[in-house]
Structures are given as C-alpha cells and as structure tokens.
Structure 1
Amino acid sequence: MSRSELVFNKVNRLLELFMIIIFALLVLDVLFQVFSRYILGTSFTWTEEFARFSLIWMTILGAAYLNGKREHLSMDFLYQKFSDTNKRKASILIEVLVFLFALIIMVIGGLNLVYTTLHLEQLSGTLRIPLGYVYAIMPFSGFLIMCFSIYHISNIYKNKINN
C-alpha cells in the first residue's frame, strides 16, 4: 500500500469517526429535547439550533466523505456506453470539474463567508456562537474534496480506479 493510500484511508477513517460523533450528539440532542418537552414540561431553545448546526456539518462532511469514497450519487447511463479510453477521459474531466467547484464555491466562497461573518461578529440566535465557526465546515470540506479529486486523478492515471 502506497503512502497516499495510507493517508487517504486515515483521512476517511477520521471523517467516519467525526461524523459518528456528530450524529450521536444530534440523536442525544433531539432525545433530550423530546424528554424535556414531554417529561419535564419545559423546552430548551438551544437544542433546535444545535440540531440544525449538527445536521449542516454532517451533511457537508458527508458530501466530502462520499466524494472520497467515490460513492456519491451519479447518473452513469451515458458514461457506461463509453469506451475505456473515453471513460478515463470523462473521469478525469469530472474530477477536474469537481475540483474547480470545490475550489471556487466551497473554499474561496466559504472562506469569504467565514471571514465576513467573523468580521461582522454575527452570532447564532440561541447558542451565541460566532456563525463563522459554523460556516467553517464549508471551506474545510471543499479542501478535502479537492484533495480527494487529486487523489482520484492520480489513481485514474495509474489505472487503479475501475471506470
């Protein structure tokens, strides 16, 4: 196993663990909200906001994770009709487009959003945490997607990825 494969596997394992933790916290948060509302007769406003932020983080990290594992949703009816050479070309083109999307929208746009919200000192409504910290998941996941795209392109050139 090459060094890049070891790093790739470790990053994916860390992402899995982090998403498991986020999901566990989300479940506990929602269970606590239900318990407090129906058993204690009181409702805590912070639980809804925490659940929303957890779901945002899990969704965006999940997109990066699935991109890394090449298990994201795709429609490949036309792709399957290509010859092997055209499949390789299409795969490289797709990875380049994914890389550019992650760079422009997620990293550059995400960093701009994080900077703006931190500079304006915007706080979340209930938890009173800076929204820039919540939005920081966007450039982080975009960076991961970019790294995964580079990894996939190198594997396509090495012919390790089945088209």
Structure 2
Amino acid sequence: MNILEQAVSKSDGILRILLALMMTLLVIDVTWQVLTRFILTQPSSFTEEVARFLLIWVSLLGGAYAYREHSHLGFDLLVRKLSQQKARWVFKLCCVLVAVFAISVLIIGGLNLVYLTWLLGQQSPVLDIPMAWVYIVLPLSGLLFLLYSVFFFFNAEQQFITQECIQ
C-alpha cells in the first residue's frame, strides 16, 4: 500500500467517525432546541448557533466524503456512451477540475477567509467563539477533495477495471 492509499484510508476512517459524531451532536442539539422551545417554553439560546455551525461542517466534510464514495450527484449518461479510453480521459479531466476547484476556492479562498476573520477578531454572537474556527472547515474540506481527486486520478485504471467487473 503506497503513501497515497494510506492517507486516503486514514482520512476515510477519521472522516466517518467525525461525521457520525457531528450528526449525533446535531440531532441532540436540535432535539434539545425543540424541547426547550415547545415543551419548556423557554428556548435555549445557544442551540440554533450550534446547529448552524454543525450543519456547515457536516455539509462540507460530508461533501468530501460523498465525493470519495462516488455518492455525489453526477450526470453520466454521456460518459456511459463513450469508449473506455475516452471515459477514462473524461474521468481524469474531472479529477483535475475538482483539484483546481479545491485549491483555488476551498483551500486558498478558505484560508483567506479564516485569516481575515482571525485578523478582525470576529466572534460568533452567542457562543463567543472565533469565527475562524467555524470557517477552518473550508480549507480542511478542500484538502480532502484534493487528496481524493489526486487518488482518483492516479487510480483511474483500477477504477475502470472495477466498474467493468460490476457491469
């Protein structure tokens, strides 16, 4: 197993646990919000902000994990009509485009946002935590998208052999 496969394997395990933990916390938080609002008639002040921040993290990290598992939405009707070699070329092109997006928007743009909010000292209104901690998920998810797209690019041959066996 090479270094790239080890990195992907480790990130998969960590990401699965982290996503399960965050989803559990999100369910508990929203349940507590509903209970305090409608049963205790005294809404909790922090639950809405916690739910919003957890949803941001789950969405971005979950998007990276969905990309890894090939569970993201895709329009592959045209690709299925292509020959194996052309389909492999399109697959590699998509990997490059995902890597470019991950680097330019998520990593560079995300790091700029984190730096700016840290520099300005922006705090969340209720929890009073630095917003840079919330926004750090942008470059983190960008790194995951980049890792997975590089992994897919270099394992495109194996990807298509596996798909042939399934069909």
| TM class by smaller structure | over 0.9
Matched positions, count: 161
| Alpha carbons 2:103, 2:146 under 8 Å: kept | yes
Shift, 1:34, TM fit: 1.4
Shift, 1:2, TM fit: 4.9
Per the normalisation by structure 2, the TM-score is 0.91
Runs of 5+ in structure 2 lacking a partner? none
Per the normalisation by structure 1, the TM-score is 0.94
- Deviation digits for residues 76-116 of structure 1 (CA, Å, limit 9, x no counterpart): 11111111110111011000000000000000000000000
Shift, 1:128, TM fit: 0.9
Q: Which residue of 2 aligns with 1:40?
A: 40
Q: How far apart, CA to CA, are the structure 2 residues paired with 1:27 and 1:143?
A: 27
Moved more, 35-44 or 2-11: 2-11
Q: How far apart, CA to CA, are the structure 1 residues paired with 2:30 and 2:3?
A: 41
- Counterpart check, 1:15 vs 2:15: yes
Q: How far apart, CA to CA, are the structure 1 residues paired with 2:123 and 2:8?
A: 35
Superposed CA RMSD in Å reads 1.3
Shift, 1:70, TM fit: 2.2
Shift, 1:27, TM fit: 0.6
Mapping of residues 1-163 of structure 1, within 5 Å? 2-156=2-156, 159-162=157-160
Letter matched to residue 29 of structure 2:
D
Moved more, 72-81 or 98-107: 72-81
Runs of 5+ in structure 1 lacking a partner? none
Taking only the aligned residue pairs, the percentage that are identical comes to 39
Q: How far apart, CA to CA, are the structure 1 residues paired with 2:37 and 2:122?
A: 29
Letter matched to residue 87 of structure 1:
A
| Alpha carbons 2:46, 2:126 under 8 Å: kept | yes
Q: How far apart, CA to CA, are the structure 2 residues paired with 1:141 and 1:40?
A: 38
Shift, 1:33, TM fit: 1.2
